[in-house]
Amino acid sequence: CYPDSILIFYPDNTNSSICHWSFNGIHQAGPGNDSIMVVIDNPTGTAILIVEESGCRSEPLEIQLKRKPHFDFLSDNQEGCQPLTTEIYAEPLDENLIFYWMNDSLPPVQGVSNIYSYTDSGEKDIGLFAMSSETGCTDTLIKNGWIMVHPKPEAAYEVDFPVALLENARITFTNESLNADIYSWDFGDSHSSDSQNPTHTYTEIGEFTSQLIAESVYGCLDTTQQIISILPFTLYFPTAFRPGSPIEENRTFMPVGTGADPLRFNLKIYSRNGQVVFETKSPDDYWNGNTPDGKPAPMDNYIWIARYFDIQGFNHEQKGQVLLIR
């Protein structure tokens, strides 16, 4: 089996030899007498030579030439985003061809098409082996880097306050995406941004699903999201309580509402003469109206000072009076 073009020649040429060539399925490429270049047009062809010397002609000599198969392959998409699955089709330019697809270390797969799946990015080589059932000739076509798999971005971000109070609801979004060039943010409250590291102020209480779409210059996408909780800051202190009240909520003194960090809280209550009658580091430790020795404190106005951090880490200090009723 030969390539498309080969050199054929008459080996017994003399100065008086005149070579008469004729062809079937072959044509001559360029001039020549005893040595000519021919192109094999069909899977098989014949070349016929008659040699004339001193007015005498030889009997015709015929040789048959077989060439390697003509074929190609194509795909609907030669590039795409990771992971990529693409079907590649053989394009036979001769009849009676059998195809085998080359798959790295795996056995060849027979068929006129083959599906390739790539989980990693980069340039991918494609190889196709063809055999003619007519001539028995074979050939291999390898296209290096013919498939390009672009890396998929990895969308990622952090926020400074996943839980925030409405009065300090300005949230900073820190982009930590990889292999991305274009960013689309949805803050979950009908607002959006295309900045790389945006900030956004929420104006309502609730849970909002923030979302980042990270995109590469090749159009590859990845998405991630986080819940942002915006809470009200409703911490307030009662102005009076009565340990003997029939209503349970009125029997003790402690701030009511949400927003304080229970791990960073301090409350001190002072009598009129400046003595500490109660101190706690937990908003769940209520003052029941007793002195440190366990005796009921007298009915009076008491001074309280609360120092605490809210759930975002902002420091607060509040002062006031509470009336203990007996």
Residue among 157, 6, 142 at smallest CA distance from 67 = 6
Place of tokens 């609801």: 169
Query: Which 8-state DSSP code applies to residue 29?
Result: -
What is the structure's pLDDT at 141? 97
Rounded CA gap, 27 and 229, in Å? Answer: 80
What is the structure's pLDDT at 168? 92
What is the structure's pLDDT at 233? 87
Q: Are 301 and 272 in contact (CB under 8 A)?
A: yes
Q: Does the structure show a pLDDT above 90 at 215?
A: yes
pLDDT digits (tens, 9 = 90+) for 239-268: 999 999 999 999 999 998 888 899 999 999
The CA-based diameter of the chain, rounded to the nearest angstrom, is 148
Q: In the predicted model, what is the mean pLDDT of the chain?
A: 95
Mean pLDDT of 265-293: 95
pLDDT digits (tens, 9 = 90+) for 78-101: 999 999 999 999 999 999 999 999
Residue 44 burial (10 A CB sphere; 0-12, 13-18, 19+): middle
Q: Are 128 and 97 in contact (CB under 8 A)?
A: no
What is the structure's pLDDT at 106? 75
Partnered with residue 110 across adjacent β-strands are 100
Rounded CA gap, 234 and 44, in Å? Answer: 92
Residue 257, amino acid: G
pLDDT digits (tens, 9 = 90+) for 132-141: 999 999 999 9
Report the residue count for the chain. Answer: 326
Quick one: pLDDT band at residue 235, thresholds 50, 70, 90?
A: confident
Beta strand pairing status for 79-81 and 138-150? parallel
pLDDT digits (tens, 9 = 90+) for 161-203: 999 999 999 999 999 999 999 999 999 999 999 999 999 999 9
The DSSP line for 214-262 is EE-TT--EEEEEEEEEEE----B--SEE-TT-SSGGGSSB--BSS-EEE
Rounded CA gap, 82 and 216, in Å? Answer: 11
Angle at alpha carbon of residue 221, lines to 217 and 225, rounded to 5°: 130
Mean pLDDT of 100-124: 90
What is the structure's pLDDT at 271? 96
**For the whole model, what pTM was predicted?**
0.73
Question: For residue 82, how far is the Cα from the chain centroid?
Answer: 7
